[in-house]
């Protein structure tokens, strides 16, 4: 029974951490480039420090994304509001919502920027991936490239929302492993040292008869 329990626990822990441990840093780097190209003109990542990003994504990548050059007065003039900071958007909305949102843009001549969204009707944001979609139409790009861009930029936003996640999964595995060993060790130690006493010689004090 105990053995079964441990095997089950190991499987749960490591299957959940596998996705992160096996994650390709290049996808994150690609996501970062997509963000820089298509998003960073309007959206800041206030809580992301350049130093942290370079350390996590390996080597000197990207630029400081914590501020935008877009003046607030212009933003309000064009969009009606300042585009929101996206540091924590992945924790607020979740990854699947974000990719559904980015894929949910469609052409709508009634909107000021010619695009509308299925998830947020009449959204103020223009369809920033429209140039990519146009490239697909003329055959320069493949649809997979657009999907990969959206996938990776969402992945990047998930990373930005919680950079510690990279460290968290790695460390968690070791902590759980250590605790499993402690449990096994304690079990053996208790059996050999404590429950050899006469009054509880049956080993399981729960089932002793008086």
Partner 1 sequence: MNKIVTWIDARFPLLSTWKRYASEYYVPKNLNVYYYFGIFALVLLGNQLLSGLWLAFFYTPSVQDAFHSIESMMRDVPYGWLFRYLHSTGASGFFIVLYSHIFRGLLYGSYQQPRELVWLLGVVLFFLLVLEAFFGYLLPWGQLSYWGAQVMTSLFSALPYVGDTLVLWVRGDDMVGNATLHRFFALHVIALPMLVMFFVYLHLVALHKVGSNNPQGIDITLYRDEFGHPLDGIPFYPYYVVKDLMAVMIFLLLFFSMVFFFPDGGGYFLEAQNFLPANVLETPDLISPLWYMAPFYAMLRAIPDKLAGIFVLLSAPMMMVWLPWLDNSPVRAMRYKGIYSKIALLAFVVVFVMLGYLGMLAITPARLYWARTGTVVYFAYFLLMPVYTRRERTHRVPERIGMR
**Residue 21, interface with partner 1 (CB under 8 A)?**
no
Only one of the segments 26-34, 104-112, 116-124, 167-175 lies at the binding site for partner 1 (rule: CB under 8 A); that segment is 167-175
- Enumerate residues 6+ apart whose C-beta is below 8 A from 102: 129, 150, 153, 154
**Residue 202, interface with partner 1 (CB under 8 A)?**
no
Cα–Cα distance measured from residue 169 to residue 70, given in angstroms and rounded to the nearest whole number: 36
Contact (CB, 8 A) for 46 and 87: yes
> At closest approach, how far in Å is the CB of 8 from partner 1?
12
Cα–Cα distance measured from residue 34 to residue 154, given in angstroms and rounded to the nearest whole number: 10
**Residue 120, interface with partner 1 (CB under 8 A)?**
no
Structural element, H or E, at residue 55: helix 50-57
**Residue 93, interface with partner 1 (CB under 8 A)?**
yes
Query: By rule CB under 8 A, what count of residues binds partner 1?
Result: 42
- Rounded to 5°, the CA angle 161-162-164 comes to 160
Only one of the segments 37-45, 83-91, 121-129, 132-140 lies at the binding site for partner 1 (rule: CB under 8 A); that segment is 83-91
Only one of the segments 85-93, 98-106, 128-136, 139-147 lies at the binding site for partner 1 (rule: CB under 8 A); that segment is 85-93
Contact (CB, 8 A) for 157 and 89: yes
| Residue of 62, 104, 126, 172 interacting with partner 1 (CB under 8 A) | 172
Nearest CB to partner 1, comparing residues 80 and 139: 80
Closest CA to 157 of 110, 73, 92, 67: 92
> At closest approach, how far in Å is the CB of 115 from partner 1?
25
**Residue 180, interface with partner 1 (CB under 8 A)?**
yes
Secondary structure (3-state) at 81: coil
> Do the bridges between strand 115-117 and strand 105-107 make them parallel or antiparallel, or are there none, so unpaired?
antiparallel
Contact set with partner 1 (CB under 8 A) = 9, 12-13, 16-17, 47, 49, 52, 87-88, 91-94, 161-164, 167-169, 171-173, 175-176, 179-180, 182-183, 186-187, 190, 194-195, 199-200, 205-206, 208-210
């Amino acid at each position: 029974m105990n053995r079964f329990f441990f095997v089950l626990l190991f499987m749960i822990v490591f299957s959940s951490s596998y996705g992160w441990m096996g994650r390709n840093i290049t996808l994150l780097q690609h996501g970062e480039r997509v963000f820089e190209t298509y998003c960073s003109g309007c959206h800041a990542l206030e809580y992301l420090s350049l130093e942290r990003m370079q350390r996590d994504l390996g080597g000197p990548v990207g630029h400081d994304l914590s501020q935008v050059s877009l003046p607030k007065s212009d933003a309000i003039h064009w969009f009606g509001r300042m585009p929101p900071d996206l540091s924590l958007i992945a924790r607020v909305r979740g990854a699947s919502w974000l990719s559904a949102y980015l894929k949910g843009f469609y052409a709508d001549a009634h909107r000021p920027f010619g695009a509308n969204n299925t998830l947020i009707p009449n959204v103020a944001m223009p369809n920033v991936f429209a140039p990519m979609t146009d490239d697909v139409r003329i055959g320069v790009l493949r649809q997979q490239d657009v999907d990969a861009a959206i996938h990776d930029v969402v992945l990047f936003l998930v990373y930005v929302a919680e950079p510690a996640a990279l460290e968290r999964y790695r460390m968690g595995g070791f902590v759980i492993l250590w605790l499993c060993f402690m449990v096994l060790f304690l079990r053996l130690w208790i059996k050999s040292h404590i429950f050899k006493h006469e009054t509880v010689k049956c080993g399981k004090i729960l089932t002793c008869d008086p």
